[in-house]
Amino acid sequence: MTKNIPQEHFLKDYQSPQYEIKSVYLTFYLSPNKTQVINHMVVEAKGGKAPLLLDGDKSLTLVSIKENNQLLLKEDYELNSESLTLFPKSNQFELEIVTEVDPESNTYLEGLYRTNGNYCTQCEAEGFRRITYYMDRPDVLSSFTTKIVADKAESKVLLSNGNLIESGDLPNNQHYAVWEDPYKKPCYLFALVAGNLEVVEDTFVTQENREVALKIYVEARNLDKCEHAMQSLKKSMQWDEERFGLAYDLDVYMIVAVDDFNMGAMENKGLNVFNSKYVLAKPESATDHDFEGIESVIGHEYFHNWTGNRITCRDWFQLTLKEGLTVFRDQEFTADMLSPDVKRIEDVKRLRNNQFPEDAGPMAHPIQPQSYIEMNNFYTMTVYEKGAEVVRLYHTLLGEKGFQQGMKRYIECFDGQAVTIQDFRQAMAEANDVNLNQMHHWYIQPGTPHLKVTKTYNPITKCLALKFSQFLNGKQVHLPLLIPVLFGFMDEEGTALPIKPSISTKNKVTQTEKGMLLKVTQLNDTFEFMGLETEPYLSLLRHFSAPVSLDYKATEEELMVLASHDSDSFVRWESIQKLAMLNLKENVIRFENSEPFLILDSYLNAFKAVLEDNEIDLALKSLAMALPDVIYFSEQYEEVNMDAILASHNFLKKAIAEFFEESLLETYQALEASEKPKYRYHKEDIANRMLKNRCLNYLLQLPKHFDIGVAQYQNHHNMTDVLAALEAMNHLARVERAQCLEDFYQRWQSDNLVIDKWFALQASAQSDQALEDVKKLTKHPDFTYHTPNRLRSLLGVFGRLNFAGFHDKTGEGYQFLAEEVLKVDKLNPQVAARLASLFSQWQRLAEPRKTLMYKAIEHIASAEDLSKDVFEIVSKTLKSHDSFE
């Protein structure tokens, strides 16, 4: 393990800053290996005299310091690899700090770095300290002015935050630009981009009748891939005005797309820097999923203008304040643009596949973490996706009108401030005159809540009692959560039954715009309902009204009725998924007992009903026909028998193909014949492709239909269908598969984003040769350790989705990825930490994999000079060793 144990930071230790930085004027003299940064600050002490601690980094070269224009000597300050401490002579003063940085060598992609000849910054969470010495914390808000000086030939475009106020030429073929941001902001929202980029331009007229210039900057070769991003931006601006009453506040809104970026995108005020994956798209090279991802992320970063920028976080422990809220907003935006029902199910799948395992692993943390070693490690599914679900609880409890009243109050009270989650809750409560204090329990307790429901029906009194019990991390000893449960009752024919709460229950059940809602507020809560002539089937957690794991023992007959008749799309989908899960679990038992597999009649009948239902939305039909993902399937077990899980999953998928071969083929051919010649990103077209490609995936479980996949690959000109064909044939070691992959590479080798898909396809192939194939791909000329997208597409996909290769019984998959983590850690600790987290579920694996994965983690931990990012991941993962011993 690394010799120097990094410092852990705790929320309880928070102290407000002792100094205020009134204004900042930054001057950059750009040069690939020696950029000079002049940081001129006006500083004011908030109280008496105290040392001024400025954050820094070992990558900085300090050139000079001046206080009130007086040059400071080395004995006047204290300097180490992480900070600069000054001892000001007065309470108000001007400070000028000159530093030098090396953008070209900055492989961490934090601070100022250079990629493909262009300069770029990434300052969230703590990257600004790699540019200059500063109070690098979100509660220090200041006015920023930025002057950029660069060579014209090297950087024709000079961009920063705010509005352009001055530009011009300089001697020696240089030029400059000055940008002024009229809104105070923390330094994590600072941005600078310079290089030889081209621009796509448009305008948007706000509700206040102000014209805003919209600009997307890309490399020249990508100019034809920006139309969807521009339209997504305009839709976002209009939607935020119509739904939330929020208008944009600057003269220009700029987006820059770069290939080398650790995150998806960054909401820097007025100058958003994006991973090119979330900007560039055209039908030939991007899938429906890509188009949706772009629309969502464009919206997310734009919505941050108010929920993140104008109102920001007091400290990084409040990260979900801006991210959970803004993810909720972008989810609602995408739902309104496409299909609310489909979007809700997709969000739940994402939560269960990604966040539930995080909650169950060694890196489990509340949506408001109470401590951290490296802040980058807390940009997690828990903070973002579970955080969004908690914001959705407010919306479910208060309704659309009440939620909007709360948002209006939140913005009126806290605009221009750095605030906390308590401030958000207070605004919601005061605007609706309700007590929401119990909501805080969601923020401070880790783990996925387990909600157990027990039903008791009395045929004599016609009374139904529902007992709800809360568990967290397997225990009932925790702070009780406020859990809203949308619900309904049905009879055995699928007819909705009346809901008549008893007198004792009446105050805990309300009619809302989303349906009947009950509120579980205690560890054990009982609700009674009267006047039920027959024992009802329960439709629970409609719309997935709370991020919980529901434990209700519905019969197969009950699930069949819900899957066929429930008015709530989520419950219909969930019910057929539960039937599939019953079948999968049964076959795990049979595998372990060396008994033949089977397919349950209940699941066959439910699948048949969905497949033959001509009224259901085609996208919902596709989702209902899919088996539960292997990741979610494995999460159902305290000890994971990977062989049994894969065998059960593979059997059921092939069995479905055999049972419904004729219907699947008929549906596929009908949808193929009806497909429009020109690609449209439209919900009906997307739904058609979803269902068609679901059928194709099943059909290619049967080798005799392999030619259909090859034909679809060869004949289609939209990437959605091309990639679906490759994915459908990916599990078979056929010469045609290899030929299609080679053809795909030859066609697209000049497009980085498409080649990421090529790497990912091979990394996810479930074959005996999977590990060897991935090892070979790390030697491929197009593989690079310097591009996060490429690392994620090969190493990340292999560790997360290649269950056969990564979890090979020999442990070689674990050993391979451990070595790769150490390589990446030297270049980019953020990406290395994400890869290291793929080992976090080791303690749930059955032997011999449990011991083999643990040894791989130990190997990472034993390395010298691990980054803080990787150290935190592996140290917390190893702490779970107690359960192993």
Two structure tokens written together for 402? 């009440």
Alpha-carbon distance of 49 to 86, in angstroms, equals 11
Alpha-carbon distance of 190 to 866, in angstroms, equals 28
Residue 301 appears among annotated catalytic residues: yes
Alpha-helix runs per DSSP H in 155-307: 227-244, 288-303
Alpha-carbon distance of 842 to 853, in angstroms, equals 6
Quick count: other Cβ atoms within 10 Å of Cβ 251? 14
Quick count: other Cβ atoms within 10 Å of Cβ 880? 18
Strand 143-151 to strand 157-160: parallel, antiparallel, or no bridges (unpaired)? unpaired
Residue with tokens 């010649």: 677
Alpha-carbon distance of 277 to 267, in angstroms, equals 16
With H, G, I as helix, E, B as strand and everything else as coil, classify residue 198. Answer: strand
Which amino acid, residue 251?
A: D
Q: How many CA atoms lie within 13 A of 880 on its CB side?
A: 20
Q: How many residues does the chain have?
A: 885
With CA atoms as reference, report the closest residue to 311 among 244, 410, 443: 410
Which amino acid, residue 5?
A: I
Two structure tokens written together for 303? 């919505």
Q: How many helices (H) and strands (E) would you count in the chain? A: 30, 33
Strand 143-151 to strand 19-29: parallel, antiparallel, or no bridges (unpaired)? parallel
Alpha-carbon distance of 875 to 5, in angstroms, equals 10
- Torsion angle (degrees, nearest 10) of CA 257, 262, 263, 268: -60
Which amino acid, residue 585?
A: K
CA angle 767, 768, 773 (to 5 degrees): 80
- Are 651 and 598 in contact, with CB atoms under 8 Å apart? no
CA 239 → CA 53, 310, 682, distances in Å? 43, 18, 17
Which residues lie across from 41 on neighbouring strands?
24, 95
Quick count: other Cβ atoms within 10 Å of Cβ 725? 25
Please pick, among 301, 346, 672, 820, the residue that the annotation labels catalytic: 301
DSSP 823-843: HHHHH-HHHHHHHHGGGTTGG
- Strands in 463-471's sheet, in edge-to-edge order, are 524-529, 463-471, 450-458, 549-551
* DSSP type of residue 573: H
With CA atoms as reference, report the closest residue to 824 among 804, 799, 802: 799
Where does 531-636 show beta strands of DSSP type E? Answer: 537-540, 549-551
Q: Tell me if the bond preceding 125 is cis, omega within 30° of 0.
A: yes
Which residues lie across from 625 on neighbouring strands?
none
With CA atoms as reference, report the closest residue to 699 among 677, 746, 667, 674: 667
Which amino acid, residue 636?
A: Q
Burial of 659 by CB count in 10 Å (0-12 exposed, 13-18 middle, 19+ buried)?
Answer: middle
Alpha-carbon distance of 395 to 393, in angstroms, equals 5
- Termini Cα distance of the chain: 20
Query: Which region holds residue 147: left if phi is over 0, alpha if psi is between -120 and 50, else beta?
Result: beta
Q: Which residues contact 627 (CB under 8 A, 6 or more apart)?
A: 580, 584, 649, 652, 653, 656
- Are 218 and 280 in contact, with CB atoms under 8 Å apart? yes
By annotation, the residues acting in catalysis are 301
